[in-house]
Amino acid sequence: MERLFLCGDSTMASYSPADTPIVGWGQVLAERLGTDRVRNHAMAGRSTRTFLQEGRLARIEPELAPGDLLLIQFGHNDGGNKPERHTEPWGDFTENLTVFLDTAEAHGARPVLLTPICVQIWEDGVLLLSHAGYLEAVRALAERRGVPLIDLYAESRRVVEALGPEASKALYLHLAPGEDVHFPDGVSDTTHTRRPGAERYAEIVQRALEDLSLLPRGEERNA
């Protein structure tokens, strides 16, 4: 049975419910398919640069085997303004993603590129675009290398737009004062998901993997 190794940032990462109401979609995917099968190495605050610099891919590499999947989702921190994380979409971002692809393929594993989830920022009733340049870079690299692509940005954007400005808040970390002990003063976070959002996006990823014939249909169990 193939295993799924997840490389990414905070939107994909796993969290303890005792510590935060944030839930990453990779966390839910592991719950759906089993933590023995889904190895979630995503970590908050990481870009392609810092993930590689910290040796996180190098620690995964000895475990990779033929038939395994390496899911790669970056962009939130690569596009940020912190110089230690930042990459240029058509430069070192693409070069770094290529390292992930080459590493997977060297071990007979199958890399899968994902665009990042959309941010939930509305202006005058219009959901603003995000991750410009990075989306195009991921899509272009997938096409050039013949690598499976899950356009999670496009799919998550469709979900958020269908719900609208107010209802879509339930997917992300919008909390009123006193609603959660971790954020006593409330919070309005348009990037990180609560469980409803993580569940929607994990389902999108799982169904996309099934459509790509990378996972059998209907496989799901509790971790």
pLDDT tens digits for 116-160? 999 999 999 999 999 989 999 999 999 999 999 999 999 999 999
Of 204, 208, 202, the residue nearest 33 (C-alpha): 202
By CB atoms closer than 10 A (0-12, 13-18, 19+), residue 113 is: buried
- Separation of CA 208 from chain center: 13
Q: Which CATH architecture has domain 4-211?
A: 3-Layer(aba) Sandwich (3.40)
> pTM for the whole thing?
0.96
Domain chopping of the chain, boundaries:
4-211
pLDDT tens digits for 90-107? 999 999 999 999 999 999
